Chains A and B, each alone.
Chain A
């Protein structure tokens, strides 16, 4: 297996593709050009002014030095890289939908209707009673959900200071709880990789505002004791928060609302195939049970009386806003289109194939997988090899490696999530890349990667002396 990534190395100055600023720098005298008085303007502006053909080549070259799900397998555990159907782009690009958010409700009925329909879809899928579409990413959804939980407790006169989070949870859970002003109580994992119910009982109490839980968890295990977990948290007066990162594994087979969760966020990229765009935009809608609906951000959308269309409304005890407007609209449109394309059976089949693929891939690996039975993802261990080095070697074989060295309960973890979009032959190739890299010599691993646009990058050195702009490079 060999795969060479496009590279545009220029040997005379040791750069790949030159920066825009190295292609052109143009300075404009702003004060000469401006109708404004001089004391209100800057003196000059210096930026690249490349021609359109140069821009087209520059960004095309950059794109060719970028791995994507359309390039090949991208089994990053917990990140859920699956194919993004092309037609959703065209649906979102409808010029009639490109309206300003401050329009009157009566002149924006189309967008309001789509928002309403998507709220309904998501409510059904999660088993939740009310949904807001406003949070612009999964982490923003977490922040919204925890803020809603906090508002609920305050409304009922409960002063609670702690959020309980399993050690294996996503880093965002901890950061979210802290941002919302809570102390974090970390719950150690049980021997079987799941929540230790006795440890949970000991950890929750009068100060517990919520337990944040991912299910299946970050090594793909379903929390079989979820009913008991919910009882423990609820008996203590706390709320149960569902981190939707792994909902793709449950579609059509389990709903957070039926498991006792009170509030959840949906990762529309991870579950509903909206493109990740190299780091966003995402969307992190939040669903809640009836008791929490009055605290959701404003506005939500409902059917107006007497069949007169749709209207935005402010929940009675709303936490206010979590985005300046209504969130990442274009992403929400793509979410709607994907869900409508798959329907009930397609969604359930996506979960089935995602779980089938993870199990088939694990079966073919020479690496051990310490915990099971897992669902859509698994954490293999690289044992006495360095997981990060194995990952770098995999890059030479035309696949993206899994998430490495996380979660920490698996030593030298390689958290792998192939998703439903890989077929058998693709999974066979992927397993070969794993096995070749895992068995390769120390020298080969140290030298890897060498068929990529850049060879191994010294990230530690880059962080020691941060250069964050072309101006910083010029200043050397």
Chain B
């Protein structure tokens, strides 16, 4: 390392630097920069370098300013217990510090892991094609809409989404739609499910995609998916279904209800609660294989005749197809997909189904207890739920949420008199205390 102040991550000694400069034929490093004086920067950022120890202490101090709350929060970002084996294997430097697999001969391991991830999603969705990942559920939904625009020959430009949809997800979708001249419209809900009759009235030639979620953002299991699939098909619209891999391990298989595309959030596996960081699912039918956004791993053979893995169908992608690419996405969430696959392998199908069933039972049990003991109404929608449910309170919901926070609990306030509560294996041990807090504040 050169004298003080240099990057600690360059190995050059002063002697080596001098020898290298001499080999190039210049006197100093500055001579290598071809930046006109008029635009050269000679100021300071004012960023003091710190030691590792100092930064860890500084960030630890900063993060300690987050309140120590027990979170009953969901609405698209879910925490489940992540087994230690996931961290330890995914953190192997060969995985963490590799790049996209442009040279497949030296990248067989990561390619196989991604191929296995794709295969797990094929099993969970029933659809034959799943990509390596999108950024998150919202951007995956946006990509589904632009796919619909490319593959549907109708003159339509409307994407229909449920009225119960995370507002941020709708906002992301709108940004993807804007570039394709698509517009987003909502269809109404009846008691937590799609109003299929209203949807049937609305679905017509101008609709390119119908989107539904199972479970919905309020945790309701959507009970008439096949009917939604049928009316989308009748309108020659794509049927896109949003879900997550834990729910998919017990809920109706998307392919069996006519889903053309499955999007959603797979970060429920492999990722701890991470302030919204996610893992977007994108799966679809064979028909759209050459229109899929993002990366795909396929099987081929090497020169020795052995099975080998490689990124495939790359002519869809931006580095070859440029403005005619299916999307601009390149870097995705590959390492998070690896984590999800390891987590799924660790659980196995028994463990996945048990986890999903617990999410159903715990939500029902907690809703009942809040309903019985506190004077609040839960669940608001008389449905089966996964993980989460809405709670109606007579008082302003925001004030109740604030009072619960003072008791050490975080819940969502989603409307003037509606709260939402999410229970998973991480917080199920604190439900007695949450119920007591509800009694206290209501």
Q: Is B44's CB under 8 angstroms from A344's CB?
A: yes
Q: Is A47's CB under 8 angstroms from B349's CB?
A: yes
Interface pairs (6), CB distance under 8 Å: A42-B251, A84-B97, A109-B67, A180-B179, A276-B98, A325-B168
The digit string for B366-395, where 1 denotes a CB below 8 A from any CB of A, is 000000000000000000100000000000
Q: Is A343's CB under 8 angstroms from B95's CB?
A: no
Residues 2 to 35 of chain B near chain A (Cβ within 8 Å)? 2, 4-12, 16-17, 19-21, 23-24, 26, 29-30, 32-35
Q: Which of B112, B307, B329 contacts A14 (CB 8 A)?
A: B307
Q: Is A363's CB under 8 angstroms from B19's CB?
A: no
Q: Is B274's CB under 8 angstroms from A329's CB?
A: yes
5 new A-B pairs (CB below 8 Å) besides A16-B308, A19-B115, A281-B331?
A110-B66, A347-B45, A347-B47, A353-B6, A356-B12
The digit string for A420-431, where 1 denotes a CB below 8 A from any CB of B, is 111110110000
A355 within 8 Å of B (CB atoms): yes
Q: Is B336's CB under 8 angstroms from A280's CB?
A: yes
Q: A26-B350, A325-B168, A343-B49 in contact; A127/B41 too (CB < 8 A)?
A: yes
The digit string for A16-47, where 1 denotes a CB below 8 A from any CB of B, is 11011100001110100111110111100111
CB distance from B295 to the nearest CB of A (A): 6
Q: Is A107's CB under 8 angstroms from B66's CB?
A: yes
Residues 86 to 104 of chain A near chain B (Cβ within 8 Å)? 87, 89-91, 94, 96-104
CB distance from A335 to the nearest CB of B (A): 12
A307 within 8 Å of B (CB atoms): no
Q: Which of A106, A319, A468 contacts B297 (CB 8 A)?
A: A468
Interface-lining segment among B203-211, B351-359, B430-438: B351-359
Separation of A320 and B170 alpha carbons in the complex (Å): 9
Q: Is A391's CB under 8 angstroms from B103's CB?
A: yes
Q: Which residues of B contact A81 (CB under 8 A)?
A: 99
Q: A62-B113, A111-B275 in contact; A5/B89 too (CB < 8 A)?
A: no
Q: Which of A16, A45, A327, A337 contacts B349 (CB 8 A)?
A: A45
CB distance from B203 to the nearest CB of A (A): 23
CB distance from B99 to the nearest CB of A (A): 5
Q: A227-B36, A277-B95 in contact; A420/B308 too (CB < 8 A)?
A: no
Separation of A470 and B233 alpha carbons in the complex (Å): 29
Q: Which residue of chain A has its CB nearest to the CB of B32? A: A355
B195 within 8 Å of A (CB atoms): no
Separation of A79 and B100 alpha carbons in the complex (Å): 9
Q: Is B250's CB under 8 angstroms from A36's CB?
A: yes
The digit string for B336-363, where 1 denotes a CB below 8 A from any CB of A, is 1010001011101111111011001100
A336 within 8 Å of B (CB atoms): yes
CB distance from A439 to the nearest CB of B (A): 21
Interface-lining segment among A248-256, A286-294, A379-387: A248-256
Interface size on A, residues (CB 8 A): 199
Q: Which of A61, A100, A180, A320 contacts B174 (CB 8 A)?
A: A320
Separation of A337 and B118 alpha carbons in the complex (Å): 33
Q: Which residues of B contact A308 (CB under 8 A)?
A: none
A155 within 8 Å of B (CB atoms): no
Q: Which residues of B contact A104 (CB under 8 A)?
A: 401-402, 405, 410
CB distance from A453 to the nearest CB of B (A): 5
Separation of A400 and B21 alpha carbons in the complex (Å): 25
Q: A14-B307, A26-B350, A467-B298 in contact; A360/B23 too (CB < 8 A)?
A: yes
Q: Which residues of A contact B180 (CB under 8 A)?
A: 179, 181
Q: Is A55's CB under 8 angstroms from B89's CB?
A: yes
B221 within 8 Å of A (CB atoms): yes
The residue among A79, A102, A170, A326 with the most chain B CB atoms within 10 A of its own CB is A102
B403 within 8 Å of A (CB atoms): no
Q: Is A349's CB under 8 angstroms from B67's CB?
A: no
B183 within 8 Å of A (CB atoms): no
Q: Which residue of chain A has its CB nearest to the CB of B75? A: A102
Q: A56-B85, A341-B55 in contact; A67/B273 too (CB < 8 A)?
A: no
A241 within 8 Å of B (CB atoms): no
Interface-lining segment among A68-76, A203-211, A232-240: A68-76
Separation of A177 and B65 alpha carbons in the complex (Å): 41
Q: Is B331's CB under 8 angstroms from A137's CB?
A: yes
B172 within 8 Å of A (CB atoms): yes
A328 within 8 Å of B (CB atoms): yes
The residue among A59, A139, A363, A458 with the most chain B CB atoms within 10 A of its own CB is A59
CB distance from A63 to the nearest CB of B (A): 4
CB distance from B272 to the nearest CB of A (A): 5
Q: Is B357's CB under 8 angstroms from A33's CB?
A: yes
The digit string for B296-307, where 1 denotes a CB below 8 A from any CB of A, is 111111111111
B285 within 8 Å of A (CB atoms): no
Q: Which residues of A contact B221 (CB under 8 A)?
A: 36, 40
Separation of A125 and B327 alpha carbons in the complex (Å): 29
Which 5 residue pairs of A and B lie closest in terms of their CB atoms, listed nearest first? A325-B276, A277-B335, A343-B49, A49-B348, A462-B300
Q: A109-B66, A329-B277 in contact; A87/B304 too (CB < 8 A)?
A: no
Separation of A56 and B53 alpha carbons in the complex (Å): 31
Residues 304 to 321 of chain A near chain B (Cβ within 8 Å)? 309, 319-321
Q: Which of B29, B91, B275 contacts A356 (CB 8 A)?
A: B29
Q: Which residue of chain A has its CB nearest to the CB of B169? A: A324
The residue among A47, A96, A111 with the most chain B CB atoms within 10 A of its own CB is A47
Q: A60-B89, A276-B97, A277-B98 in contact; A353/B10 too (CB < 8 A)?
A: yes
Q: Is A68's CB under 8 angstroms from B52's CB?
A: no
CB distance from A84 to the nearest CB of B (A): 5
Q: Is B325's CB under 8 angstroms from A175's CB?
A: yes
The digit string for A339-375, where 1 denotes a CB below 8 A from any CB of B, is 1111111110110110111011001100000000101
Q: Is A28's CB under 8 angstroms from B353's CB?
A: yes
Q: Which of B59, B106, B128, B350 contacts A28 (CB 8 A)?
A: B350
Q: Which residues of B contact A20 (CB under 8 A)?
A: 116, 345
Q: Is A179's CB under 8 angstroms from B179's CB?
A: yes
CB distance from B384 to the nearest CB of A (A): 6
